[in-house]
Structure 1
Amino acid sequence: MRAGIVTVVVALLASCTWGTADDAAPATPSASATPEPVAVTPLEAPAPATVVDGDDAAAALATSAALLDAAPVVVLAAAGDVPGTLTAATAAVALGAPALLTGADADVASELARLGARHALVVGDVDPAVLPDDVVAVAVPSGAGADVLSAAVGRPLGEPAPVPAGGEAAAVRALAAPEPAVLVAEGATATASADPAATPGDQEATVLPPTTAVTVPGVLALADGPVPPAAAATLRALGVDVLDVPGGDPRATSAAVQALAGASPEAVVAYGSSFAPADRLVHRVAAARTGAELPGGGQLVFPAVEGQPGKRYVALYGTPGSGALGVLGEQDVPATVARAEQHAAPYRGLTTDTVVPAVEIIATIASAGAEPDGSYSRKRSVEELRPLVEAAGAAGQYVVLDLQPGHQDFVTQAQLYTDLLALPHVGLALDPEWRLAPGQVHLRQIGSVGIDEVNATAAWLAQLTRERALPQKMFVLHQFSLRMISERERLDTSHDELAPLIHVDGQGGQPAKAGTWAALRNAAPPVHWGWKNFYDEDVPMLDPAQTFEVQPVPDLVTYQ
């Protein structure tokens, strides 16, 4: 990762430690000052991901700490002083300097010392005790007018811009260097001169030294809601772009994924508690940076962003080349892809969510005999399955690989299909009905699995997804009786990389199916839900409208 290089050139002034600026103050240092340009380069790069939360003062301090190793010039205002914060924001963007707020619990004095600050623009009523003794300060009033502020910062500024109450964050975010608008609270009169009461002692007037433009390369800010104004001012001052990420997950929408892929940031600073913890955000950003999207857009299997459509899936079930195991295998690959779309189409008029066609492919097939490895499970090879997997992906369809492992464990079988699971649009399903205990045989006993094996499989799949920076994966558990998954209440649903779903596989009369649905949902862990329609076994099979009358509405509907 490149270092976040920030260069600020200052001309040190031989002047007092606390001064004023008004309409009569010069816009450049006095002739008696001896300029001595100094270039300052930070030693450390920004952290890969920093989550900023808290009030404006805390956010301003955290932003400075995350992005800057040194800043000879800073801008200060008092926390809670809205007109002063607007003035400070304008000055910070003009100067290319951080904006900090004193008061509350913000340890501004320590931050100024860390930054090596030598000059400060002090806006309004700021306690002088926060300033180190060697800092030269220039004071301006809260709500300073353009002439006053321009004189203090030593450069021209834009026109005054009234800011309505509640619009401060948006106004600051819109500021643009090198001549930002002068923000003033709506209804207030811009102060034309400094307030003598805000200037301790009878000190000589001075102005800030010239500074260069400041940029922090390779950093992108993320925001779930407004960025606190002082923090936003620092971002604008440093040239850091802000990407809006409603809900705090950059994988959630196509717009966010493509923006991150285009920016390819080396580090992010995120505003809002929804982004926490930072280590999780690192992996979410890594996935989004790839630009790979799931069918239906974005990188979440089931996005839940207010104002954005969710997703539901309609799938064919079976294995290629065999109509005996489901409708998926009744036709060749192109016809299967077309048939999946035909099944999904009627559902689109029933929901505002995006309906994604899908195929659930039986990758390992329960067999009556032991097979050469004794597993009672016949493996379809990766190359046998690849044509349908790739054709479905090319058509914008999701793929789920289904495992019927017999006497093998699910983790061992899942690892056989790593090459396919490494594709962005491929998820995994476990079929405990076909997971045999020692001495059991298919169709004589109904299989089952312990929760520890399920959780181990989920952990392996989550790790694969995380290490390869893949979009989230659907993780399906087939179930039609409670005993098929022992201790189901301990299902690990914490993996951010997975979207767990329990797929209810009951067949027969609709009252019986409804009873199975209700029984399995009772005391269930927090998961999504799937429903299966059987062409031959259901009495009768539900049509799409009837299927979506099931409550809650299924997130995945499969046809067998």
Structure 2
Amino acid sequence: MKNIFCTLLLLIAFKASSFAQTTPQDTTAKPAAIDTAKYDSLMNRMANGDKRWPVKKAPYPLPGAILPFNRIVAYYGNMYSKNMGALGQYEPVEMRRRLMAEVKVWEAADTLTPVVPALHYICVTAQADAGAGGRYNLRMPFSQIDKVIEMAKPINALVFLDIQVGYSTVQTELPLLEKYLKMPNVHFGIDPEFSMKEGSVPGKRIGTFDATDINYVTDYLSKLCIKYNLPPKVFVVHRFTKRMVTNYQDIKLRNNVQFVMDMDGWGPPELKRGTYKYFVQGEPVQFTGFKLFYKNDIKNAPNRMLTPKEVLSLKPMPVYIQYQ
């Protein structure tokens, strides 16, 4: 009896040992930490000599972070409107050709920074009419989001889902997109211009988001990354006035969300530089972006678009470039 009992113990120990040797936890390699020395060097280069940058409170990102190791160059727009940006203006093949041509221009302008293409899709658009729900916005059907994600695949582009909430809130709209945001290549953006907290019709006045709204998003995206074991998300906030983002100093930075304040104004070079200086450079958060308008920037002669070299001379140097 004693021998049988000992034999059983040995069998149990052998099986336990074999199971331990084949469990995924033991055989799956852990992702390497980021190269902090390289990260610091890139962030200091990005500052372009401005002592306020990089922001000291920013944590090191988790592995898989896109920024500042790359620059993102995006086409912005909506599939239902040719007037909202380059993304919806051209057929997919032509749109991708044009975007990749811009990618090559930026690669040549800054040979030290790899460039990643992106499609920045407005999936909730502000509306002048209240609509059935009284939200003053229109949610795009999921079939259209699916189409954009498919359009991105031939060039391995990132996809940004951007929302213009109207009378709704980011707290209402963001969770509706979780099925897409749990994809590793899908990121997020919000447009304070069309967040009509004071009750105006979108387009009549410029709207606003507070740090509390932005912190809701960073918290949500952070938890999403943890839940689905995702690399850090890039989160873009558009801005061209002071009131569009209030209490910027209270924005909370997280190691799995990379925050970009994108200068969204259009006009002549002097105006765009000034807008960037006062509302992006002067109120540091983490990373910066810059929007270039194919039409509006050149609307009044002799206006022209800023060149990549001129954009790269800004302090700090934008790591996210958007074309509309």
Fold agreement, TM-score > 0.5:
yes
Match of 1:218 in 2: 26
Match of 2:142 in 1: 382
Match of 1:413 in 2: 173
Q: From 72, 82, 101, give the equivalent of 1:342.
A: 101
Alpha-carbon distance between aligned partners in 2 of 1:510 and 1:414, rounded to the nearest angstrom: 34
Match of 1:548 in 2: 312
Q: From 94, 116, 119, give the equivalent of 1:359.
A: 119
Alpha-carbon distance between aligned partners in 2 of 1:244 and 1:369, rounded to the nearest angstrom: 50
What is the identity, as a one-letter code, of the residue corresponding to 1:534?
F
1:394 CA displacement: 4.3
Alpha-carbon distance between aligned partners in 2 of 1:522 and 1:336, rounded to the nearest angstrom: 31
User: Is 1:503 equivalent to 2:262 in the alignment?
Assistant: yes
Alpha-carbon distance between aligned partners in 1 of 2:32 and 2:136, rounded to the nearest angstrom: 51
User: Is 1:423 equivalent to 2:183 in the alignment?
Assistant: yes
Q: Secondary structure at the match of 1:353?
A: coil
Alpha-carbon distance between aligned partners in 2 of 1:246 and 1:471, rounded to the nearest angstrom: 12
CA separation of 1:219 and 1:341: change in aligned 2, threshold 3 A: same
What is the identity, as a one-letter code, of the residue corresponding to 1:521?
V
Within 5 A, what are the aligned runs for 1:210-289?
218=26, 245=33, 247=35
CA separation of 1:369 and 1:468: change in aligned 2, threshold 3 A: same
Whether contact under 8 Å (1:320, 1:332) holds in the other structure is no
Q: Secondary structure at the match of 1:417?
A: helix
Alpha-carbon distance between aligned partners in 1 of 2:32 and 2:267, rounded to the nearest angstrom: 48
Alpha-carbon distance between aligned partners in 1 of 2:34 and 2:314, rounded to the nearest angstrom: 30
Q: Which runs of 4+ in 1 moved over 4 A?
A: 219-222, 243-246
Alpha-carbon distance between aligned partners in 2 of 1:313 and 1:421, rounded to the nearest angstrom: 18
CA separation of 1:452 and 1:246: change in aligned 2, threshold 3 A: closer
User: Is 1:302 equivalent to 2:67 in the alignment?
Assistant: yes
Within 5 A, what are the aligned runs for 1:46-445?
218=26, 245=33, 247=35, 299-303=64-68, 310-351=69-110, 352-445=112-205
State the TM-score, normalized to the length of structure 2: 0.78
What is the identity, as a one-letter code, of the residue corresponding to 1:218?
D
Alpha-carbon distance between aligned partners in 2 of 1:543 and 1:245, rounded to the nearest angstrom: 36
Alpha-carbon distance between aligned partners in 2 of 1:355 and 1:221, rounded to the nearest angstrom: 28
The CA deviation string for residues 139-174 of structure 1, in whole angstroms up to 9 with x for no partner, is: xxxxxxxxxxxxxxxxxxxxxxxxxxxxxxxxxxxx
CA separation of 1:440 and 1:343: change in aligned 2, threshold 3 A: same
Q: Secondary structure at the match of 1:324?
A: coil
1:421 CA displacement: 1.1
1:220 CA displacement: 7.6
User: Is 1:483 equivalent to 2:248 in the alignment?
Assistant: no
What is the identity, as a one-letter code, of the residue corresponding to 1:300?
A
Alpha-carbon distance between aligned partners in 2 of 1:517 and 1:438, rounded to the nearest angstrom: 26
CA separation of 1:405 and 1:244: change in aligned 2, threshold 3 A: closer
Q: From 446, 460, 464, give the equivalent of 2:206.
A: 446
- Structure 2: segments with no counterpart, 5+ residues: 1-9, 18-24, 38-58, 298-302
Whether contact under 8 Å (2:77, 2:121) holds in the other structure is yes
User: Is 1:520 equivalent to 2:279 in the alignment?
Assistant: yes
CA separation of 1:354 and 1:428: change in aligned 2, threshold 3 A: same
Match of 2:44 in 1: none
Match of 2:46 in 1: none
Whether contact under 8 Å (1:321, 1:331) holds in the other structure is no
Alpha-carbon distance between aligned partners in 1 of 2:183 and 2:157, rounded to the nearest angstrom: 13
Match of 1:536 in 2: 295
Alpha-carbon distance between aligned partners in 1 of 2:282 and 2:259, rounded to the nearest angstrom: 16
What is the identity, as a one-letter code, of the residue corresponding to 1:326?
G
Alpha-carbon distance between aligned partners in 2 of 1:522 and 1:553, rounded to the nearest angstrom: 10
1:470 CA displacement: 1.3
Whether contact under 8 Å (2:117, 2:155) holds in the other structure is no
1:543 CA displacement: 2.5
What is the identity, as a one-letter code, of the residue corresponding to 1:489?
Q
Alpha-carbon distance between aligned partners in 1 of 2:155 and 2:270, rounded to the nearest angstrom: 36
Whether contact under 8 Å (1:473, 1:498) holds in the other structure is yes
Whether contact under 8 Å (2:281, 2:315) holds in the other structure is no
What is the identity, as a one-letter code, of the residue corresponding to 1:553?
M
1:443 CA displacement: 1.8
Bigger Cα Rg: 1
1:529 CA displacement: 0.4
Alpha-carbon distance between aligned partners in 1 of 2:29 and 2:74, rounded to the nearest angstrom: 38
The CA deviation string for residues 66-109 of structure 1, in whole angstroms up to 9 with x for no partner, is: xxxxxxxxxxxxxxxxxxxxxxxxxxxxxxxxxxxxxxxxxxxx
Whether contact under 8 Å (1:374, 1:407) holds in the other structure is yes
Q: Secondary structure at the match of 2:174?
A: helix
Match of 1:116 in 2: none
CA separation of 1:522 and 1:552: change in aligned 2, threshold 3 A: closer
Alpha-carbon distance between aligned partners in 2 of 1:536 and 1:221, rounded to the nearest angstrom: 49
What is the identity, as a one-letter code, of the residue corresponding to 1:543?
T
User: Is 1:456 equivalent to 2:221 in the alignment?
Assistant: no
State the identity as a percent. 26
What is the identity, as a one-letter code, of the residue corresponding to 2:91?
D
Whether contact under 8 Å (2:192, 2:208) holds in the other structure is yes
User: Is 1:558 equivalent to 2:318 in the alignment?
Assistant: no
Q: Secondary structure at the match of 1:499?
A: strand
1:557 CA displacement: 0.8
Whether contact under 8 Å (2:261, 2:285) holds in the other structure is no
Alpha-carbon distance between aligned partners in 2 of 1:524 and 1:393, rounded to the nearest angstrom: 36
CA separation of 1:507 and 1:469: change in aligned 2, threshold 3 A: same
State the TM-score, normalized to the length of structure 1: 0.46
Alpha-carbon RMSD: 3.0
Alpha-carbon distance between aligned partners in 1 of 2:104 and 2:171, rounded to the nearest angstrom: 35
Whether contact under 8 Å (2:281, 2:316) holds in the other structure is no
Match of 2:5 in 1: none
The CA deviation string for residues 251-281 of structure 1, in whole angstroms up to 9 with x for no partner, is: xxxxxxxxxxxxxxxxxxxxxxxxxx9xx99
Alpha-carbon distance between aligned partners in 2 of 1:461 and 1:221, rounded to the nearest angstrom: 25
User: Is 1:472 equivalent to 2:232 in the alignment?
Assistant: yes
